Amino acid sequence: MCRVHRASVLTLAAEHYETEQLEEWVVSLEPDHIRMAIADRKEVGFVVERDGRVVGFALCDGDLVRALYVHPAAARQGLGTLLLEALENEAAARGVARLRLYASVNSRCFYEANGYRVLRAGDYPLSGVEMMTCLEMEKDVPNPGG
């Protein structure tokens, strides 16, 4: 997952952020973060594997989509949408009516294509001294009962 995160950030977001921002973004998800998320069972996660290797993953904490990353070699093949739909369905089954997230600038079109609307733009802190511009977005998730 960390391999996918690094490659995804450094390739797919590279045009939209400065090198220093990308470097801090990359270290914001380290193996210990993922181990903790798995161990405390607070977050819900999905991964997509191909040939035994993770090529994409998504994490959700309550009503907040915390992470969604697809390896650049697997981008634009519908995997991001598949992962997002898995989070939405799982959240709806838990009774969550609306999901929210902080989208990187590069991912705005992806989330809009998936029905999310922009609430506001803002600068959000990374793991060190850098800030990064993100878009706060939300979507009403379909009720599983119809």
Ligand X SMILES: CC(C)(COP(=O)(O)OP(=O)(O)OC[C@H]1O[C@@H](n2cnc3c(N)ncnc32)[C@H](O)[C@@H]1OP(=O)(O)O)[C@@H](O)C(=O)NCCC(=O)NCCS
Interacting residues with ligand X (CB under 6 A): 8-9, 12-13, 68-70, 75-81, 103-104, 106-107, 109-110, 113
Name the 3-class secondary structure at 129. Answer: coil
Identify which of residues 37 and 70 has a Cβ nearer to ligand X in the complex. 70
- In one-letter notation, the amino acid at residue 109 is C
Identify which of residues 28 and 145 has a Cβ nearer to ligand X in the complex. 28
We find the least distance from the C-beta atom of residue 145 to ligand X, in angstroms, to be 26
We find the least distance from the C-beta atom of residue 104 to ligand X, in angstroms, to be 4
Helix (H) or strand (E) holding 102: strand 98-104
Residue with tokens 């801090």: 24
Query: HEC string of 46-59?
Result: EEEEECCEEEEEEE
Identify which of residues 45 and 80 has a Cβ nearer to ligand X in the complex. 80
